[in-house]
Amino acid sequence: MASRKLDVYERKRHFDVTPEPPPDGARPRRRGAPTFMVHKHHARRLHYDLRLEMDGVLASWAVPKGPSYDPAVRRLAVETEDHPLSYGAFEGRIPDGEYGAGDSLIWDRGTWETVPPGQAAAMKAKGHLELELRGEKLRGRWHLVRTGSAGGPGKTSWILFKAKDENADPGYDVTTARPESVESGRRVTRGPVAARTLRGAHPAPMELLIRVWPPPPRPIPRGKLRALAAVSGGRVSLQSAEGMDLGHSHPKVAAGLGRLVAGEAVLDADLTPGDLLLARDLLWLEGEDLRARPMRERRELLESLLAPPPPRVDVGPVIRGAPASRGPARA
């Protein structure tokens, strides 16, 4: 009976494509306080998914603006389908074209209880959950109150707001102050790639390479060849750091690059003797010269772009000991 709670979750997803966990059935109650987590989900619109462990699944609400510590601020929370408990460990990219496509970070997690404890199912049925959250970012008492229907079938609207307790703080903007994942520390997220981004007008890939040339200096591992790869409007250019064309001598790598889901991207990579392109850095993405951004952000975007990597391409080791980026050339 309980496993039917995850039918909607299962129907919406292709588990041979998405890295999200398949439904593992509703689990019997474990000992200890129930868990909660909040995913920061960069789908078509960035939002925060509040998930509360309840009856062996994660009851879920999408909160477009995220939680606020100001008790006067009421945030819309749209009830969504129950998720399996294993979803609490999911962080990564939901592939383009799949339901909820885009990056999702574990923004907060911890344990929770109703006030008073043990009333979750009854309070949810009544439409007013009073929560005590013990997370890394969200603490203290909160209210979730059902306000009616919105959006469409099965999309019930609630409001989420902070109770007036010692944790309330109208001056504290938690989503701005703490943008990072509590799992990985990652801050940057990438939304789904819009069809118009893929189909739009893009320069020749060689033109993108010229814009970021010369590539920032960095060490090259022994036995590998440094390669710069540009993808633009479905076309690919693969060059050595000395400006030699590698596309014809490495057609399988070029074909793999052609399968990247991006309008425009320039990868800084190492080419192995085994014909595998190990991407180390991302210099350009969708019209933006990323060299102005910190290395760490470029790396987060690179890992998002290559989740999952196409054939003959993979994520290489983080660049260490590289001189600081000089940023984009100024006219």
CA torsion angle 176 177 179 180 (round to 10): 180
215: tokens are 């590539």
Q: Which residue is nearest to Mn ion (CB)?
A: 41
Between 62 and 193, whose beta carbon lies closer to Mn ion?
A: 62
| Contact with Mn ion (CB under 5 A) among 9, 36, 49, 78 | 49
* Side-chain half-sphere CA neighbours of 168 within 13 A: 14
Which residue stretch of 40-48, 88-96, 148-156, 242-250 sits at the interface with Mn ion (rule: CB under 5 A)? 40-48
Least distance (Å) between residue 27 CB and Mn ion: 22
CB 200 within 8 A of CB 286: no
242: three-class secondary structure by DSSP: coil
53 in contact with Mn ion (CB under 5 A):
no
Between 96 and 130, whose beta carbon lies closer to Mn ion?
A: 96
Which residue stretch of 44-52, 146-154, 159-167, 188-196 sits at the interface with Mn ion (rule: CB under 5 A)? 44-52
Least distance (Å) between residue 45 CB and Mn ion: 9
41 in contact with Mn ion (CB under 5 A):
yes
Is the sign of the CA dihedral 293, 19, 46, 205 positive or negative?
positive
- How many helices (H) and strands (E) are present in the chain, helices listed first? 7, 15
Between 101 and 227, whose beta carbon lies closer to Mn ion?
A: 101
Residue count, binding to Mn ion (CB under 5 A)? 2
Q: Which residue type occupies 250? A: H
Between 48 and 284, whose beta carbon lies closer to Mn ion?
A: 48
Between 29 and 44, whose beta carbon lies closer to Mn ion?
A: 44
Q: Which residue type occupies 135? A: G
Least distance (Å) between residue 314 CB and Mn ion: 28
- Cα–Cα distance between 53 and 60 in angstroms, integer? 9
Residues that bind Mn ion (CB under 5 A): 41, 49
